[in-house]
Amino acid sequence: MFQINLKNNKYFSCDFSDTILSAAHKENVQLNYSCQTGRCESCKAKVIQGTSISINEEIGLSEENKKKGYILTCVRKPTSDLILDIEDLTNYKLETIRTFPSKINKINNVSDDVIELELRIPPQSSFKYLSGQYVNFIKDDYKRSYSIANCSESSNLVFFVKRYAGGRFSNYLFTEAKINDLIRIEGPLGTFFLRETNKKNIIFLATGTGIAPVKAILEEIDNNNTDLLNKNIYLFFGGRFPADLFWKAEFTNIKVNFIPVLSQNTNNWKGEIGYVQDILLTKLIDLSDSVVYACGSEYMIKDSNKLLIQNGLSEDSFYSDAFVTTQ
C-alpha cells in the first residue's frame, strides 16, 4: 500500500492493484479525469517525488510532457509513495456515480449528421450534476459516453449526438430509436465544469458536438453566476462545414464574444477560417490572464494545450474534455 500526496496536503492510499485515479475514487478524493483510457490528458499530473508504472500507453501525453515528469493517473499504478502536483476537487461536491433509467422524450435533427436527443428522468430519480459533465448511455450491455448539453437546473437531459459510420450506438439513435425507448444512464461523470478563477478572460474552444458541455456551462453562468458578469467571455466554435455550426450562443444576462470558425468548404463564408486555437491567437487576448475550457477532437485538445501554453497560458488554466471516438 502506497500513500499518494496532493499539493493541498490531502492524501489517500493506493494499492499496487489500483490505478491512482481509481484509488482516489475509492477514498472519495476527486481528481481531474475524462476518458479514463490514457487517450486524453484531463487526468495529467506532475510527479514531484516517487515512481509509478503505466498499464496502458499514455497516448494523451506529449513527449515533452513526459520529459517534464507528467503522468496520466487513469493508467498509472504507484511503485512507491508519490507526491503529485494536482488539485483535489472535493470542494466542488461531485455527486456519487449511479445508474438509473431514462426514456427518450424527443429526437430532433439539427444537421444532416447530428441529432438533439432529450431524455426524461423518472420523477423519483433525482439526478444532480455539474454543468459540463457527461453520462454513459447503457443499452444491451453496451456503453457510450455523451456530454450533457443543458445546465444542471433542467428537469430533462439534452445531448447532441453525431452519426458515425459503423457506430453501434449512433446507428441505433439515428435509425431505430423511438419516443419512450428505455435507455439506462450512468453518471454523472467527468470533471469538465466551471472552476473558480481570478483570471479576467474565460475562453471556450469547441469543435463539433464538443459544443454540448460548453453550452451547458454557459447556460449555468447565464442563470446563476453573477460573479462572472464582469469577465470577458469568448467562445470559438469550429467545424469543417457550415452545417457543423448548428448552434449559436444567445444568452440573457451575459455577453459572449461568439466566433464561429470553419476549416473547410469556406465558399461564401465571411467568418473566420482555420482552426479554433489558431484563430484564438489572432485575437491578441492576454492568455496570462485567461482560463481556457476546450472540448472536441483529440487533435484540437492536444494542439490547443501546447500552442496556448507556448503563448502565455498557465499550465493549470487549461481544462479539457477530449471526445474519444468509439464504435
CATH number at residue 283: 3.40.50.80
Find the mean pLDDT for residues 217-239: 88
Q: What are the pLDDT digits (tens) for 63-81?
A: 888 999 999 999 999 999 9
Same-domain pairing of 157 and 57: no
* pLDDT beyond 90 at 60: no
Same-domain pairing of 86 and 104: no
Query: Is residue 324 packed enough to be buried (19+ CB in 10 Å), middle (13-18) or exposed (0-12)?
Result: middle
Same-domain pairing of 206 and 151: no
Choose the final residue of a domain: 189, 211, 229. Answer: 189
Grid cell for residue 315? 499550465
Same-domain pairing of 304 and 215: yes
3-state secondary structure of 87: coil
Half-sphere exposure of 134 (CA within 13 A, CB side): 28
Q: Which residue has the higher pLDDT, 229 or 36?
A: 36
> Is 175 inside any structural domain?
yes
Same-domain pairing of 139 and 217: no
* Element at 11 (helix H, strand E): strand 11-14
From CA 320, how far away is CA 191, in angstroms rounded?
A: 9
Find the mean pLDDT for residues 206-235: 90
Same-domain pairing of 206 and 229: yes
**CATH code, 58:** 3.10.20.30
Query: Is residue 228 packed enough to be buried (19+ CB in 10 Å), middle (13-18) or exposed (0-12)?
Result: middle
Q: Determine the pLDDT at residue 226.
A: 63
Q: Determine the pLDDT at residue 159.
A: 97
Same-domain pairing of 179 and 227: no
Sign of the dihedral through C-alpha 94, 99, 104, 105: negative
> Is 21 inside any structural domain?
yes
Same-domain pairing of 86 and 7: yes
From CA 90, how far away is CA 30, in angstroms rounded?
A: 5
Q: Determine the pLDDT at residue 230.
A: 83
Number of structural domains the chain divides into: 3
> Is 196 inside any structural domain?
no
Find the mean pLDDT for residues 27-45: 89
What does 177-232 look like in DSSP terms, one character per residue? --TT-EEEEEEEE---S------SEEEEEEEGGGHHHHHHHHHHHHHH-GGGTTSE
Q: Do residues 291 and 203 touch, judged by C-beta distance below 8 A?
A: yes
* pLDDT beyond 90 at 152: no
Q: Which residue has the higher pLDDT, 269 or 289?
A: 289
Same-domain pairing of 177 and 219: no
Grid cell for residue 67? 520529459
Query: Is residue 115 packed enough to be buried (19+ CB in 10 Å), middle (13-18) or exposed (0-12)?
Result: buried
* Distance of alpha carbon 45 from the chain centroid: 17
Q: Determine the pLDDT at residue 327.
A: 45
Q: What are the pLDDT digits (tens) for 273-327?
A: 999 999 999 999 999 999 999 999 989 999 999 999 999 999 899 999 987 665 4
Same-domain pairing of 205 and 310: yes
> Is 178 inside any structural domain?
yes
Same-domain pairing of 167 and 119: yes
Same-domain pairing of 24 and 58: yes
Choose the final residue of a domain: 61, 91, 121. Answer: 91
Structural domain that includes position 40 = 2-91
Report the mean per-residue pLDDT for the chain.
91
Choose the final residue of a domain: 189, 209, 239. Answer: 189
**CATH code, 154:** 2.40.30.10
From CA 77, how far away is CA 20, in angstroms rounded?
A: 6
> Is 194 inside any structural domain?
no
Q: What's phi and psi for 204, nearest 5 deg?
A: -115, 130
From CA 75, how far away is CA 146, in angstroms rounded?
A: 22
Q: Which residue has the higher pLDDT, 41 or 50?
A: 50
> Is 195 inside any structural domain?
no
